[in-house]
Amino acid sequence: MSKFYNLSEETIDSFKAIYDKKTFATNIGFQYVGSTAQKTLIKITKIPDQYSFLLEKELLVSINEDLILVYDEESVEILIEQEIDKISENMETGKIKLLKPDINTFSGLINKYGIDKVAKANKVEELYSEQQRDAEEDFII
């Protein structure tokens, strides 16, 4: 039995409805696939260039439809939107890349301190790291 399958039109339409609320400069081609082995609800990955050329699609949207039944409607929307927010387009080159999330932490910390404080702490840490890299680059030059 294959762990991949064709997604239902309802699932694809739900993804498209959330995606259409976002603003992207170009039309991005998506290839959709269902995956029973996937541990997360949704995962977006870049399609390698040679397959992207053949499929005329840039990104693979993999969804485990079994998990849609586990989550409430709002959680499904949040998880899909969270994955869509990783998509970044370079306006000059037309290249698409997937970004890492702004915040990566444990839910227990968010419950304890609140999302704003945890996000602020992560931003400060990230800013410090960027400043350190810039200082090293300046020193090398």
Q: pLDDT (tens digit, 9 = 90+) per residue, 100-140? A: 877 777 777 788 888 888 777 777 666 666 777 777 776 66
108 and 95 in one domain? no
Which among 5, 1, 13, 24 is positioned nearest to 62, based on CA atoms? 5
Q: For position 66, which CATH number holds?
A: 3.30.2010
Domain end call among 69, 84, 99: 99
Q: What is the pLDDT of residue 93?
A: 82
Which among 9, 64, 54 is positioned nearest to 29, based on CA atoms? 54
Number of domains in the chain: 2
Average pLDDT over residues 80-85: 92
Which among 11, 6, 16, 9 is positioned nearest to 68, based on CA atoms? 11
Q: pLDDT (tens digit, 9 = 90+) per residue, 66-78? A: 998 888 898 899 8
Average pLDDT, the chain: 86
140 and 80 in one domain? no
132 and 65 in one domain? no
Give the domain range for residue 136: 102-141
The pTM of this model reads: 0.75
74 and 124 in one domain? no
95 and 47 in one domain? yes
SS3 5: strand
86 and 41 in one domain? yes
110 and 92 in one domain? no
Measured CA to CA, the distance from residue 83 to residue 101 in angstroms comes to: 9
76 and 20 in one domain? yes
Phi-psi category of 29—alpha, beta or left, where left has phi over 0 and alpha has psi -120 to 50? beta
Strand 30-35 relative to strand 4-5: parallel, antiparallel, unpaired?
antiparallel
The secondary element (H helix, E strand) that includes residue 46 is strand 42-46
131 and 76 in one domain? no
**Which residues, other chains included, contact 133 with Cβ-Cβ below 8 Å and sequence gap of 6+?**
none
Enter the tokens of residue 91: 């306006």
Q: What is the pLDDT of residue 5?
A: 96
